[in-house]
Amino acid sequence: MSVNAIDLLLYTGGLLVLFLTPGPVWVALIARTLGGGLAAAVPLAFGVMVGDLLWPTLAILGLSWLVTQFSMILMLLKAMAVVVFWGMGLALLRSTDQAIAQDSRLIKPGAWAGFIAGAAVIIGNPKAMLFYIAILPVFFDFHTLTTLDMALIALLSASIPFT
């Protein structure tokens, strides 16, 4: 294992900040909880967990390949991520007076529907994708990551919906 406990702790803090930022996952969790109680929200959280296993794994594999092919690509990706995050932040600040549209697909009854909604909401969330692509290289050295490191990072990412 090449990552240390401090890096993992800092990464977990970054994940908590991501989760505490209102977004589609929050809307889905609140809608499911209000529509069917905690029992309806748990399958959705498991769906989010699957997506949170997928994103960091794909980001690590893809970025590791890019780093081996093009050494300066991470600097370019980081710069692009900063611009996109700034844009998303400004868009969030500018849209505070807009009403949230009703979407009954999030409260469709059934555990399977909740699971699918959770997986779809995180896999389709651009904030999550950008977070993993932009932030993982800050915390971890892609030249030294092992399979165990990747699994631990993915498991930490997946545990956040249950905090």
Instruction: Please give the pLDDT value at position 105.
Output: 54
Instruction: Please give the pLDDT value at position 24.
Output: 83
Instruction: Please give the pLDDT value at position 100.
Output: 56
Q: Quote the number of domains for the chain.
A: 1
As a whole number of angstroms, the distance between CA 100 and CA 107 comes to: 15
pLDDT in tens, 56-78: 999 899 888 887 887 777 778 77
Q: Which of 58, 8, 35, 12 has its CA nearest to residue 159? A: 12
Instruction: Please give the pLDDT value at position 47.
Output: 92
As a whole number of angstroms, the distance between CA 68 and CA 65 comes to: 5
Contact criterion met (CB below 8 Å) for 32 and 161: no
Domain of residue 117, residue span: 5-94+103-162
Instruction: Please give the pLDDT value at position 114.
Output: 87
Largest separation between any pair of C-alpha atoms in the chain: 49
As a whole number of angstroms, the distance between CA 112 and CA 106 comes to: 12
Q: Low-confidence residues of the chain, pLDDT below 50?
A: none
Q: pTM of the predicted model, to two decimals?
A: 0.74
DSSP type of residue 70:
-
As a whole number of angstroms, the distance between CA 18 and CA 28 comes to: 15
Instruction: Please give the pLDDT value at position 6.
Output: 92
**b/e code 115-152 from CB counts within 10 Å (16+ = b):** bbbbbbbbbebebbbbbbbbbbbebbebeebeeebbeb
Where are any strands of DSSP class E within the chain?
Answer: none
